Amino acid sequence: MDAPVVRPRLAAPGLAAPGSVNLPDATETDAGVRMAALLGRATRLADLRAALDAVTLEEVADAARFSREGYARVLLARSEGAEILILGWLPGQRSLVHDHGVSHGFVKVLAGEGVDDSFALEGGRAVLVERTGFEAGALLEERPDQVHRVANAGSNVLITLHAYAPCLRGARTYDE
């Protein structure tokens, strides 16, 4: 018998990931200029990882936004090969189950605490395989083949800083 086909939904480039809200870019702010400089210096994935890990909440906090409609995404900087976004999550907000297309991602947790659920694709749906907690100071990795879901599991806001190389497009969401 043929295995059931997983039918992910493809998010159109530039559109908000389902469950999230894309707010206006902050590329002209101090935080945006700082992150553009960071992208300019980081030419390898390892450099990007190290540079992102060194960013503090104080450097970018002014650009963080929140929405009751869903977790809020703000673009801070984009180059030809990579981009940096700051995400604001109110208590209880979470992403859908998703992958990252061909992008490699790093996530610096700047404030709050959350959970990162990892999924396997089985029988046409995403099946939870592992739940990992994280808190401010952590650096998470999002591999291109990784299917996961992030949630604010705390009672305060969660602020995360995301770097993707190449720029995120073609990410897909999955039914659980």
116 binds Fe ion (CB under 5 A): no
Stretch that binds Fe ion, among 42-50, 75-83, 115-123, 136-144 (CB under 5 A): 136-144
Secondary structure class of 117 (helix, strand, coil): strand
Cβ proximity to Fe ion: between 66 and 174 the closer is 174
- Taking the complex as a whole, the smallest distance from the CB of residue 171 to Fe ion amounts, in Å, to 8
- Taking the complex as a whole, the smallest distance from the CB of residue 148 to Fe ion amounts, in Å, to 6
Stretch that binds Fe ion, among 13-21, 66-74, 117-125, 141-149 (CB under 5 A): 141-149
- Taking the complex as a whole, the smallest distance from the CB of residue 167 to Fe ion amounts, in Å, to 14
Longest distance between any two alpha carbons in the chain, whole Å? 57
Residue whose C-beta lies closest to Fe ion: 142
Question: What secondary structure does DSSP assign to 29-86, as a single string?
Answer: SHHHHHHHHHHHH--SHHHHHHHHHT--HHHHGGG----TTSEEEEEEEE-SS-EEEE
User: Residues 142, 153, 159, 165: which binds Fe ion (CB under 5 A)?
Assistant: 142
Indicate the burial class of 95 (C-beta count within 10 angstroms; 0-12, 13-18, 19 or more).
Answer: buried
Cβ proximity to Fe ion: between 117 and 142 the closer is 142
- Residue 147 near residue 120, CB atoms below 8 Å: yes
And the tokens for 100? 């990252």
- Taking the complex as a whole, the smallest distance from the CB of residue 62 to Fe ion amounts, in Å, to 24
Name the site residues for Fe ion (rule: CB under 5 A).
142
